[in-house]
Amino acid sequence: MDHAAEAYRTDLMTITRYVLNEQSKYPESRGDFTILLSNIVLGCKFVCTAVNKGEEQKKLDVLSNEVFVKALVSSGRTCILVSEEDEEATFVELSKRGRYAVVFDPLDGSSNIDCGVSIGTIFGIYLVNDNGEPTLDDVLQPGKNMLAAGYCMYGSSCTFVLSTGNGVNGFTLDPSLGEFILTHPDIKIPKKGKIYSVNEGNAKNWDEPTTKYVEKCKFPKDGSSSKSLRYIGSMVADVHRTLLYGGIFLYPADKKSPNGKLRVLYEVFPMSFLMEQAGGQAYTGKQRALDLVPEKIHERSPIFLGSYDDVEEIKTLYAAEEKKG
């Protein structure tokens, strides 16, 4: 009998236990963050069950959003919520107000529900320091100010990936326990990958650096093997694979979408935060993604994220383009 393996199986590091352990490193902590996170986890468990029941997309979108808004407000730890589903930000009433702002996409990739492709929830958390009335400026902060970010992927299994600014950890829902258990401790993205992930259907509208980069992936001039293309079209699934296997995920700007397609606050920022925490990079074509200062809550941005060396290559191509310009 393999006692080490058995001990690992019986020493259940749940997500709650993990966050409490993290909390104990900060003596001044009041446990607010732990309570907030357990409400996010509860929302994810609910959505996971609803997705597995095969609800229609329309219903699921609305349902997921309502579940998260209610869970976050009732936690008593939030003051502003920004959801992909709501035009306006939600300001929490005074009696339930806390110190955190949460930005989230309750069901990213939901157009894929009916064909069984993995979809997910993405979130980012900011700490609002001011004791005055919360304003939109409290969420219109660069991604580097985020306290924590993560996503929950609803696929063949339900996976919760989280960073509290201290590396990246992955948890898998054990249905028999109803608990997320640590299965991927300290995720590190490979320094260079063999996969590129992009919607090549948009190729005719791409700019020069993106076109050159993808050309190089397919027809390398230095004698190396060409990269494999993997594109699911669900950001959570594509980023999850990139995080575990390495490579690069691209959603560039193009003639049709000059600002790119993905939203800054609840898609670009959380995923960029996770990538950097796992040793990768995230770049907008102009700057480090996490340095971007959004002006509107539903603002969009191009994004290139993944393995350090792969993103470095695209940065070099953009720098050369700028010199020419």
Partners of 114 in beta bridges: none
Average pLDDT estimate for 100-105: 98
Confidence tier at 68 by pLDDT (50, 70, 90): very high
DSSP strands (E only) in the chain: 78-83, 90-91, 97-108, 119-127, 148-154, 158-163, 169-174, 179-184, 195-197, 228-229, 248-251, 262-263, 281-283, 300-301, 303-306
**Residue 300 pLDDT exceeds 60:** yes
pTM of the predicted structure, to 2 decimals: 0.96
Among 220, 201, 192, 221, which Cα is nearest to 280's? 192
The residue from 158, 184, 210 where one domain ends is 184
Residue 32: what residue type? D
189, part of any domain: no
What per-residue confidence (pLDDT) applies to 3? 58
- Flag whether pLDDT at 175 surpasses 90: yes
pLDDT value, residue 178: 95
Note whether residue 12 is domain-resident.
Answer: yes
* Integer Cα distance of 80 and 100 in angstroms: 7
- Mean pLDDT across 108-125: 93
Q: How far is CA 107 from CA 86, 110, 147, 216, 316, in A?
A: 12, 6, 22, 34, 34
- Domain end position, chosen among 145, 162, 184: 184
Asked if 105 and 263 touch (Cβ cutoff 8 Å), the reply is yes
Closest CA to 238 of 274, 287, 212: 274
Q: Which domain holds residue 211?
A: 195-323
Same domain flag for 132 and 177: yes
pLDDT (0 to 100) of residue 26: 82
141 vs 33: CA distance, rounded Å: 19
Q: Which band of pLDDT confidence, cut at 50, 70 and 90, is reported for residue 141?
A: very high
In a domain, 155, yes or no: yes
Domain C-terminal end among 131, 150, 184: 184
Per-residue pLDDT for 324 more than 90? no
**pLDDT level of residue 4 (50, 70, 90 thresholds):** low
Q: What CATH number is attached to the domain comprising 168?
A: 3.30.540.10
Based on the domain organization, do 251 and 173 belong to the same domain? Answer: no
Does 190 reside within a domain? no
Would you state the structure tokens that stand for residue 206, as one six-digit string?
């791409």
